[in-house]
Structure 1
């Protein structure tokens, strides 16, 4: 499968350049079409109000959402205008309440081969950014490429790390990332602290490596000990040690609520992402 239909979503006019530039470069490199969605979001949650005031509050909130949508659309068009003139793209603008955000994003993500988004955590980043990522992954059933603040150096990562824990999510991510994996110079399947009594106890990552090699992927297996409290810390250190330029991993192996409260590998990696992260669920 090739990435022929790409989607990026903007919920603010700020910080668009890294993700838009990455999405545009991928679209041109893959001879694909880029759809860009500018969202204005009504973030109010009217719990109770005096008689007659609710409609006024809602109307004012939607007016603000329209203003935000126009500002985001302007920023999105400016970021796209700075890209190669050969880019095929379309910009759509919509407004919605925060509760309807999932449906709006999912309806577009379902028909995209890859959704390219900015990092959903950080200073001055609203909760809607995380909701957009989750809507694309869970409801849109699309793989998501998270682009860090410093961008994506090249549309073809050469040194890829694939995090493997034998989970369904990790296998889906490996399959969905195949266009990247097949073009890479090196793909390192990283297994951290493999279970001593699992189905792959004698050859951790061996079956996945065999599967990828048969597709022409230059893959090898690296087994790491869990020498730090969190798996994400071990993985992040390894990414720096091998100078990787893309991480492929399954997303949200635990429930989203558990990750939000207690943390998890997905959230931890995205919060500290220094390189692009390819996610699938």
Structure 2
């Protein structure tokens, strides 16, 4: 079991080299093909305008997006060619409006085993970074590996924290991460403040651990109290305590709108993660 088709999308120069480096490590370790997409985004939001001006604005915006895509393509090509001859890769470019990102990215991600992207938040990141990530998760139904600025420490993580809350999203993430989990030296299934009335109240994480062990995963269970304000803080501390180089978690258990306004484990982790985060929905 391995990932054979990897995808990374460059919507800005920030984090592109990090994503290419990580994608290369995974592709070489799993004998996979790395697909890359240079994206130019038209961010214009036309409401109303004087007669004739709307078409002019749209034309200018699309020309700027095309220039942006060409610039990202040049940057991507240089990063890919620097990886050596052993890497199998392909490069494409596209231009679209911000509102059409879901359809474009979803069509590309749908046929990928794993999408590798930089952290979508930061001073140099625009709205398209988060839109690309969510489009891959929801429209493409693909797992996403989100990289911090430090990148991917090793092609195959040795110590993994697997966040578990009995949700559908957490189970999907565990199944999609199986190629990485089976190659890890230690997988710690981490349950934060489990419900005293839930179906797994007598053995939190036990059924998942049993399933993973049958697949050859070196899994164990760690049950933690919520001693910090946010679940994401507890997970981050767990990663630090065991020296984890990957966190696996389900993405967006609540609606994206609610997480954008009120916050949630997914958004909090994406904003502050110091280790690569593997997400699936």
If the TM-score is normalised by the length of the shorter chain, which range does it land in? Answer: over 0.9
1:23 Cα shift? 0.5
What is residue 124 of structure 1 aligned with on the other side? 124
What is residue 61 of structure 1 aligned with on the other side? 61
Q: Any conservation in 1 of the 2:161–2:238 contact (CA below 8 Å)?
A: no
Q: Report the Cα distance in structure 1 between the residues aligned to 2:70 and 2:233, rounded to whole angstroms.
A: 40
Q: Any conservation in 2 of the 1:13–1:74 contact (CA below 8 Å)?
A: no
What is residue 138 of structure 1 aligned with on the other side? 138
Q: Any conservation in 1 of the 2:14–2:124 contact (CA below 8 Å)?
A: no
Secondary structure of 1:162's counterpart equals strand
CA deviation profile, 1:47-79 (whole Å, cap 9, x unmatched): 011011111100000110011011000111111
Secondary structure of 1:84's counterpart equals coil
Query: Which residues of 2 match residues 142-161 of structure 1 at below 5 A?
Result: 142-161=142-161
1:246 Cα shift? 0.2
Q: Report the Cα distance in structure 1 between the residues aligned to 2:79 and 2:91, rounded to whole angstroms.
A: 11
What is residue 162 of structure 1 aligned with on the other side? 162
Secondary structure of 1:183's counterpart equals coil
4+ long deviations beyond 4 Å: none
Q: Which runs of 5+ in 1 are unaligned?
A: none
Q: Report the Cα distance in structure 1 between the residues aligned to 2:249 and 2:167, rounded to whole angstroms.
A: 10
What is residue 43 of structure 2 aligned with on the other side? 43
Structure 1 residue 224 corresponds to structure 2 residue 224: yes
Q: What is the TM-score of this pair, normalised by structure 2?
A: 0.99
Query: Which residues of 2 match residues 38-117 of structure 1 at below 5 A?
Result: 38-117=38-117
CA deviation profile, 1:196-254 (whole Å, cap 9, x unmatched): 01000000000000000000000000000001111111111111111100000000000
CA deviation profile, 1:135-192 (whole Å, cap 9, x unmatched): 0001100000001111101110000000000000000000000000001000000000
1:13 Cα shift? 2.5
Larger mean Cα displacement after TM superposition, 200-209 or 232-241: 232-241
Secondary structure of 1:94's counterpart equals strand
Q: Report the Cα distance in structure 2 between the residues aligned to 1:220 and 1:14, rounded to whole angstroms.
A: 36
Q: Report the Cα distance in structure 1 between the residues aligned to 2:159 and 2:233, rounded to whole angstroms.
A: 19
Q: Report the Cα distance in structure 2 between the residues aligned to 1:228 and 1:273, rounded to whole angstroms.
A: 16
Q: Any conservation in 1 of the 2:42–2:61 contact (CA below 8 Å)?
A: yes
1:122 Cα shift? 1.2
What is residue 269 of structure 2 aligned with on the other side? 269
State the Cα RMSD in Å: 0.7
- How many residue pairs match? The answer is 281
What is residue 28 of structure 1 aligned with on the other side? 28
Q: Which runs of 5+ in 2 are unaligned?
A: none
